Structure 1
């Protein structure tokens, strides 16, 4: 089959699709990927056809308004204005990306479309042209009600009213309204009705690329939802650690890894200095990963106790670490747990608060602090707890043993390819 994979978002949204692309390519299928332009090299390295989507989505996250929405840093009114501006720009970006998905799909002419929940054009395409599609998500609690949990974008209660079940309907209404509104701009005689779009959405298979060890909630047996494990793309072989990094690791037998991944915030220098002061005061060896700029290198702290790196492959560094402090993206959360790290999350947005609560409930680390509420006193207490409370590490290693045994590759491929048969 000719299979088109579409994903929109950060690295944690794209990497599961690269893993799927590799699995399906190995089975002899012709694979085409459509991701934000920033991920061209990662896809090219796997020798897979690539179509670049507008990079504006990630640029929005790294804009000044994006930093405020993710990290705070302004008055309530300032935050509201930033959110409104970001939402307005986001609507326009989504329209552009819908048009791009339309153009790419028409040029590729796929037999099957596998897409992220943020990439909603394939829902329209199935209704209009009967091209089968399937949704893959690295985060849970979307589209179909999972008992015990509201939709990812909502709290369980609003104004004292339990909206757990309603939250999924509300989110689906918004999604379908956007698809329906956008489809009116296309020049064709027959436009899909709202009921047809809704039926398609609710009957589309949804696969969570999440470890069952990290999934909570009760799935309705009649819903098209499956939890089929966390999947990594093939390991980068061309990357080599510096001599300084290797020497730092050799000098210390217990190290903390600190990273905010692709998340940004309004005060990277201030927060980095906060971490460094705590680490220095309590003599905790740490590697700080500056990545996309949420943390920055401070020359005065680059010494025998604290080592800065601009970007590190997690599969290489995490097995060597005692613990990890991170933003709480799905990928980093899974890899920290998979490699037995005591973990604490500093959540910035949406699903990261859910992962923060989940890791706390699993007992592999203290409950982290929201990035906009962080202070040296609060952070010091949490880091000391993470560093000194041995049960966190013990439970992390037990969880790691469970996750290391998981292998859902066959089930994932079967679930993806069965859709074509039904189609």
Structure 2
């Protein structure tokens, strides 16, 4: 009998796309019946991949824009997290854990992706009486090698970094009332602090990135596995809109510009800056609208505004990428072998931006709130001078290395062991 696996993927497109790649591998290589639980905007992505979709509530983009604190955080404005703001963060997740349990009711194994999956999914699986494991797209286990990615890029030394991880974990107490309510609604007993800590130490984690990008910390336990990237489905048969195909054919490879699922309120200002920087650097550009509602304008034949296009199809056809350094977009640029100009904002974006720079695939990152026409144009120009050849060489070299890895196959083998109770 085929094992039944439910993957809980609460988040943005960057969360769901790699999960679809992993799910397809579980279905094809392991013969598992796989369902992906996500929010409504990603239903077609899931079903187009031949997977069963199960609905999780809420809409992350709408919730961000409706929250004064959430919008301020995304925009990079300093704002103290008030009592009302913290209560709003909990309200945004009310009902999600219960929906996760419903989606997992017939599963033999529940895979919990990302911060929300890690926070709520374990309880849902416990209520269903089945095993679970965590899926992470960024480092999420304490280490002395670096501080938590969401806290920035500064290293405090091995002891200080571990302290930062403990402080970050303490921040989860904001959600303690939500978790307590969830456990009560699912008929689960209260949990002790010691049981929570034991679960965190022993819970199997599969990390969907490459050790060539983030070396495995030597102080991680055997329960944490770096598998390599989980690439989304192959898009080799994708047919682009005629306008995009024509634009790509009518000149030198353009620069891709995209901020992904970043629900900015000042997208028009960012758009003006990007257009000016492209003109100053003498580069053509493809501007992805995304959640920031970027606009390349209509008066410049060298800039085209596009909607979402599969990264695996588009990025090998461009010369470089200006992006926010979300985990998914960062991985896609590395896979395509193109250099980046990093415009990180919040959460783990500065972490990945610094990785790109240290790997030799990008100039020094430009925090999005510090970006100007001049420093963005200078970074683009740096990709064209003698130093640019080094960025391109290192990007291609790393892409060749990633092409020899099979993160999905590694993850599938681990999931098989988890199902068998041997991991």
Superposition TM-score, scaled by structure 1 size:
0.89
Match of 2:80 in 1: 80
- Find the residue that maps to 2:341 and give its secondary structure: strand
User: Residues 5 and 109 of structure 2 are in contact (CA less than 8 Å); yes or no, is this contact kept in structure 1?
Assistant: yes
Whole-angstrom CA distance in 2 between matches of 1:157 and 1:356: 13
Q: Which of 25, 28, 33 is the matching residue for 2:31?
A: 28
| 1:20-59 aligned within 5 A | 20-26=22-28, 27-59=30-62
Asked if the contact 1:205–1:224 (Cα under 8 Å) also holds between the matched residues in 2, the reply is yes
TM-aligned CA deviation for residue 112 of structure 1: 0.6
- The CA deviation at 1:180 is 4.8
Choose which of 55, 68, 73 in structure 2 pairs with 1:69: 73
Check whether the contact 2:260–2:291 (CA below 8 A) recurs between aligned residues: yes
Runs of 5+ in structure 1 lacking a partner? none
Q: Which residue of 2 aligns with 1:323?
A: 320
Partner Cα separation in structure 2 for residue 44 and residue 189 of structure 1: 33
Displacement of 1:10 in angstroms is 0.8
Partner residue in 1 for 2:340: 343
| Distance in 2 between residues matched to 1:155 and 1:293, nearest whole Å | 22
Q: Distance in 1 between matches of 2:208 and 2:156?
A: 33
Matches within 5 A, 1:258-297: 258-297=257-296
> CA 1:327/1:95 → structure 2, altered by over 3 Å: closer, same or farther?
same
Output the CA distance in 1 between the equivalents of 2:334 and 2:308.
20
5+ unaligned residues in a row in structure 2: which ranges? none
Q: Which moved more, 1:1-10 or 1:263-272?
A: 263-272
Shift of 1:277: 1.5
- Alignment match, 2:305: 308
Task: Give how far 1:155 is off.
Answer: 4.9
Q: Residues 268 and 129 from structure 1, CA distance in 2 versus in 1: closer, same or farther, beyond 3 angstroms?
A: closer
**Following TM superposition, by how much is the alpha carbon of 1:207 offset from its aligned partner in structure 2, in angstroms?**
0.9
Q: Return the alpha-carbon distance in structure 2 between the equivalents of residues 407 and 16 of structure 1.
A: 13
Partner of 1:2: 4
> Residue 391 and residue 158 in structure 1: after superposition, are their counterparts in 2 closer, same or farther (change >3 A)?
closer
Classify 1:70/1:387 alpha carbon distance in 2 versus 1 (closer, same or farther; 3 Å). farther
Would the aligned equivalents of 1:148 and 1:217 in 2 still touch at CA under 8 Å? no
Counterpart residue number, 1:205:
204
Which secondary structure does the structure 1 equivalent of 2:110 belong to?
Answer: strand
Tell me how far apart the structure 2 counterparts of residues 405 and 276 of structure 1 sit (CA, whole Å).
37
* Kept after mapping to 2: 8 A contact 1:56/1:93: no
Match of 1:368, SS state, is coil
- Maintained 8 Å contact 2:109/2:419: yes
1:261·1:294 contact (CA, 8 Å) conserved in 2?
no
> 1:184-223 alignment to 2 at 5 Å?
185-186=184-185, 188=187, 190-220=189-219, 222-223=221-222
| Correspondence 1:330-369 to 2 at 5 A | 330-369=327-366
How far 1:396 sits from its partner (Å)? 0.9
Displacement after TM superposition at 1:328 (Å): 0.6
Q: 1:364 and 1:182, CA in 2 relative to 1: closer, same or farther beyond 3 A?
A: same
SS state at 2:72 partner? helix
Shift of 1:93: 1.6
SS across alignment from 2:383: helix
Partners of 1:95 and 1:174 in 2: CA distance: 18
Match of 2:63 among 52, 60, 63: 60
Provide Cα deviations, 1:144-197, integer angstroms capped at 9, x if missing partner: 223311222335779999531123333334447627523453264733333223
Aligned to 2:149, what secondary structure does the other structure show?
A: coil
After superposition, the Cα gap between the structure-2 partners of 1:336 and 1:255, relative to the gap in structure 1 and judged at 3 Å, is same
Shift of 1:262: 1.5
SS of equivalent residue, structure 2 residue 384 = helix
CA RMSD of aligned residues (A): 2.6
Secondary structure of residue in 2 paired with 1:9: coil
Q: Does 1:411 align with 2:422?
A: no
Distance 1:84 1:68, change over 3 A: farther
Total equivalences in the alignment: 412
